[in-house]
Chains A and B, each alone.
Chain A
Amino acid sequence: MTEHTEHKHEPNYLEYRGKYTGLMGWLTSTDHKRIGLMYFYAMMTFFLSGVVMGLLMKLELIAPGEQLMGAQAYNGLFTVHGLTMIFLFVIPGVAAVFGNLFMPIMIGAKDVSFPRLNLFSWYLYMIGAVIVLSSQFMGDGPPDTGWTFYAPYSLKTQTNVVAAVTGAFILGFSSILTGLNFIVTMHRLRAPGMGWMRMPLFCWTLYGTGWIQLLATPVVGITFLMVIAERMLGIGFFDPAIGGDPILYQHLFWIYSHPAVYIMILPAMGAITEIVITFSRKTVFGYSAMVISSMAIAFVGYFVWGHHMYTSGMSTTARWVFSFITFLVAIPSAIKVFNWTATLYKGSINMQTPFFWAMGFIFVFMIGGFSGLVLGSLATDIHVHDTAFVVAHFHYIVFGGTGFAFFAALHYWYPKIYGKIYNGKIANLGLVIFFIGFNTLYFPMFILGIMGMPRRYYDYLEQFHSLNIVSTIGSWVMATGLIIVIVNLLRARKGSGKEIDNPWDGRTLEWQISSPPILENFEEIPVVDHEPYDYK
């Protein structure tokens, strides 16, 4: 705390004035922290609009028959809800926001290797986002294919598929460039003394994620280009009526989109790891196991795409091979959960909001993971394929996993980002309500799926009515919790908090500098002479 007073005279990154001031100062800034925050603001806007779409869908499902909207409007809504949440929120999510904000600081660097490229990625993200969202309003109506754009329907429907696909292609480009930037940064800019095995585990997950972004995204990019070419020029790549193969589309799509699940979840796991360690006040259990499991998830996750296609028509051999590899991914994921638990064991646990969010993450992530095993095995998948069970599963993983981790990370790093602290009691209250709402919303969908309720219909049979009411009420509870959480954070921003550099006694480098950090993070590049989690 003695240095604390020393760097007070340096302007922090929020106040810094460069060549431009005001909004232009942000839009032209290549500072990784400002870019991270710009991602954050954009992403929260998209996330909240996705939440509103989700609430509308749940409201439609409160009773059988048409409540708010007909079939076509509902199809458009679940498609754009999926596109918004997947491509604009969870895929870039934790990596683009917290990776940009903290990865360079955590490895002791002043910025990423290519700061201008980093800003360019943000612009690509915004352009892609605008195009994806405008597909809802322009042309011949919102796309109604689902976020997967399955052929041949995506080639035949008269709705605005080309715009949505183009937007997704541009977003993919942005994601590739961010991954590339992060990999190079971690290779080149680690502080003196920070060997690979001294890198904080959050950075390791970003490293694994970067490789998936680089090697998987181009495959879906070219697939989207083929869809556009097929729609515009009538080339028969995927339409069976003119010689194409719709199953080939599914393969190419999932070769990216399954690894994309790990793009979403790996950085989330990394953030949770940081939180579990800091709030146990104890070094991590099994550092190298954590590193290896991150890389193993990234690697093995590349070879499991076929488990999305058990019912699409694949040979039995292909199906059991994919099923087997799918079960293999459970091993490194379970290692992470075991290590989190072992880290907690005999730690002196500091019960604060980020810790509760992390525990919430582990709870819902376990439910999501176990239900994933049901879907990963061939026989049970046939029964629940394309039912509400699948919807419940991936919301537990994607929203319960990445979403919870996003809010956990936000509450963890909030004091560092703004130099303010939020009201912990209200934050906890919001979390509890959110958590109850989340489970009330999604858990009934497991049961509905096993009962046989198909996904993606605006209507359903009377026998599913009562559980759907529960689920819809859950969506309102969850939204209430979300509002409390966000309002609480907004109020803290307005200045009701006190300034603080290291409120949780964290040991990684970002907690050793002032809050908010100065423009280039460190006055002097630190020399690292100990392990990342140095609790004695």
Chain B
Amino acid sequence: METTATHHADMHRDDDASKIGMWLFIFTEILLFGGLFIVYSVYRFRNPVAFHIAHQELSITMGLINTIILLISSATVAISISAIQKKDRKMSMMMLGMTLLFALIFLVNKYFEWGAKFEHGMYPGSDLMTMLSHGDMLFFSLYFFMTGLHAVHIIVGMVLLSVSLFKVRNGAIHSTRFVLLENSGLYWHLVDLIWIFLFPLFYLIH
């Protein structure tokens, strides 16, 4: 940064600045979830048995499928960025489209996962939830809260990727100007990263 800090002020465009900005924003996102991870650890430590039993209610298969989907989608968005750098607009658009498709599949999966619980009367504020033991209720509350907040981030990521796709299509993003796509990709990796922590915490740990 030191070396480039000298020639900038009169340019209106500064891709490095945009990227630094995105990285800083990602730090705040990590700390946003960080607060939830602390809450999760405290309550898991207090209610180990209840958390263990409650976690068996979740379908590892569903979680695993979603994990794989997100990992592949991170790869496709990365390919899309390389493609635009190599002036392969078609490939870039196709890969962005696939990323969006994977994101949609993730949400559909989530819908069925949550829907099954809702059908059993299991949702925040329901009568069933208030009848559960404290440990069980905390587990499911955290589950809905954290995966819900993550799903919101998926949707925000999809909006960013859609805007990028649109701009690749009309030529506003091209081989020498792709910082928006890159930043959307960074954000998408963050969404993926958070899921990588959520998956073991809720589905895997015994």
Contact = CB atoms under 8 A, between A and B. Distances in A.
A218 B28 contact: yes
A471 B172 CA distance: 64
8 contacts: A108-B9, A188-B17, A189-B5, A190-B5, A221-B32, A232-B125, A235-B145, A255-B35
B135 interface: yes
A192 interface: yes
Q: Main SS of chain B's interface residues?
A: helix
A43 interface: no
A225 B43 CA distance: 18
Nearest to A216: B31
A219 B28 CA distance: 9
A214 interface: yes
B196 interface: no
A180 B130 contact: no
Contact of A113 (B14, B42, B149): B14
B124 interface: yes
Contact of A248 (B1, B4, B42, B149): B42
Q: Main SS of chain A's interface residues?
A: helix
Interface residues of B, number: 44
Interface stretch (B18-26, B156-164, B174-182): B18-26
B39 interface: yes
Interface of A: 108-110, 113-114, 117, 176, 180-181, 183-185, 187-193, 195, 214-219, 221-223, 225-226, 229, 232-237, 242-245, 248, 252, 255, 525
A242 B130 CA distance: 8
B138 interface: yes
A214 B124 contact: no
Interface of B: 1-2, 4-10, 14, 16-18, 20-21, 24-25, 27-29, 31-36, 38-39, 42-43, 46-47, 124-125, 129-130, 133-135, 137-138, 141, 145, 149
Nearest to A194: B5
Contact of A214 (B28, B35, B137, B145): B28
A189 B39 contact: no
Contacts of A255: 35
Nearest to B31: A218
Given A229-B145, A232-B125, 16 more contacts: A109-B9, A110-B9, A110-B10, A114-B18, A114-B21, A184-B24, A187-B17, A187-B20, A192-B6, A214-B28, A218-B31, A218-B32, A219-B32, A222-B33, A234-B125, A235-B124
B124 A229 contact: yes
Nearest to A243: B134
A189 B10 CA distance: 9
B17 A114 contact: yes
A91 B34 CA distance: 23
Contacts of A235: 124-125, 137, 141, 145
Given A180-B25, A183-B24, A215-B31, A242 B9 contact: no
